[in-house]
Structures are given as C-alpha cells and as structure tokens.
A and B are shown apart, each in its own frame.
Chain A
Amino acid sequence: MKPLNEIKLNFPSRSANEGFARAAVAAFVSQLDPAVDELADIRTAVSEAVTNCIVHAYPDTIGTVYLTVRLFADGKISIKIRDKGCGIADVKQAMEPLFTTGGEERSGLGFSVMESFTDKLRVSSKKGKGTVVTLEKYIALRESAPSAAKPL
C-alpha cells in the first residue's frame, strides 16, 4: 500500500534534538487525528529510539540520525529511525528489559518502552555499520479523519 503522506528528516545526534524529533513526528502524525494517548505513545517511542542513536550509536561523535515517517489510509503509522553508528553486537540481548551498556543512569528500558507503546518493533543492526529501528502503530480512525493529503 502506498502511504498517504511521508516525511524524511535528518538531524545531528545532539541531545537537544530529542525533543525536536518527537515534536516533529507528533506534528506530522496529527494529520491522522490520533487520540491524545496514541500521540503520547508515539512521542515516547520516538524519544526512546532517537535517544538510543545519540547515546549508543554515536557515543563519542556527532553523527546523523535519519527519520522517516509514513502515514497510511488504514491508520497505520510507520516510523523508521536509522543511524550509521557503531551498531549493536547482540540485538536480542540489547532488547532484553534492563540490559544497558549506558551506565548507572540509563534504565535499560528503551526497547521495552518502544515495544509496549507501539504495535510492532523491528530492529536490525550491523556492527560498525549502523542500526535501523522500525516502529509501527495503528491508530483508530475516526469518522471525520483524515483531512490528510491525497495519495502521493
């Protein structure tokens, strides 16, 4: 299925951009008229994924975070967060609750939050090449929605 609408955003992995990324995604996704809770779930999941890029993918450098958001007519929202950072040695282990390499102040719950606040989470990573996180969330379409754009 073709998306109704799509955006691509690239930004440097500076922590100040965590707030920007979730606000930008929330603003775009609002075209599908999500409920307040659905929007909050999306903001939280995006925040986790982008934070992972900043903390883990590019620990000692500033790299680029690539964000793609697609909206579909059936209410599906697909969000892809990609980096060209260090990659994850063991994805399965990284996704275990409470596992972290980020030190005492990181809870190790980023993937758990993404998993529970979205409908689908996919992670693929290559050591030294980077990581792609894909989040999918279905929102309940309402009668009036969407005012969204015509198909591309």
Chain B
Amino acid sequence: MALRMETESDSLTIWLSGELDHHSARRMREEIDAAVERIKPSRLRLNFADVGFMDSSGIGLIMGRFRLMQLYGGTLEVAGASERIRKVIRLAGLDRLNVLKESGEDLSAKDDSGVPHAGR
C-alpha cells in the first residue's frame, strides 16, 4: 500500500494510515525515507489523522525521521494525532522536540511562515 503524499513548495506532507506497530513501521519508514531522499524537502509533515493505533514503534519512527530531517537541515512536524496517540508521544517526551502540532491546526492548507528555509 502506497502512502498518500503531497508536496507544496518545499514541504512534503505524508499521510500515515492504519495501525502503526513494529510490523507496519518498517514499510512506512522505507516509503517516507525514499520520498525524503528524492524530494529533499525543508519541511516534512507527517499526518497521523488516519492512524488508529500506535505503540512505541511510532515513537521510533518519529525520532528516526526527526534525525533524518536534521541531517538535511530541515524540520519535522507531526499533525493530526488523536488524543490517544498524543498520549504516547508525550510519554516519550517528544512534545519537547516541538514537532507536535495542535490537532485542530490546519496544516495541509497553508503555510503562513513565508520564510524560505535557510538550508535551500
């Protein structure tokens, strides 16, 4: 199953879906990394709105992508996470990385920062 992706200027948004566990994380990770390496966005947005379940494998996936984006001088955002998924994310202290966007926040529509990324 291919993940839905969308690029807009130098942002890449990827919608994850289904259950995110150790079994499914591997394939998702490979797809995300292939897209990031191809597109080299300055911002990667992972949308979790269609993820019905996530365990700590999801934390590993987020942390790994955070590092990957740092490598490219880019940033990572996590959007659309349900209260349930946010609970796991907070447990990991990932909220301190400032990647978590409010679930009500519309991330797909517009980018109001208007600041081009320094690394590009």
Contact = CB atoms under 8 A, between A and B. Distances in A.
Contact of A105 (B19, B53, B55, B60): B60
Interface residues of B, number: 20
A40 B91 CA distance: 15
A95 to B, nearest CB: 13
Main secondary structure of the interface of B (DSSP, over half): helix
A44 B23 contact: no
A106 B19 CA distance: 17
Interface string A5-45: 00000000001101100100000000000000100100110
A67 B29 CA distance: 29
Interface of A: 15-16, 18-19, 22, 37, 40, 43-44, 47-48, 51, 54-55, 104-107, 109-110, 112-113, 116
B51 to A, nearest CB: 13
Nearest to B22: A51
Interface of B: 19, 21-23, 25, 29, 53, 55-57, 59-61, 63-64, 67, 84, 88, 91-92
Per CB-CB distance, the 9 closest pairs between chain A and chain B, nearest first, are A15-B23, A107-B59, A109-B56, A107-B60, A47-B55, A51-B22, A105-B60, A107-B56, A18-B21
B21 A113 contact: no
Given A43-B53, A105-B29, A109-B56, A116 B22 contact: no
B56 A48 contact: yes
A45 to B, nearest CB: 9
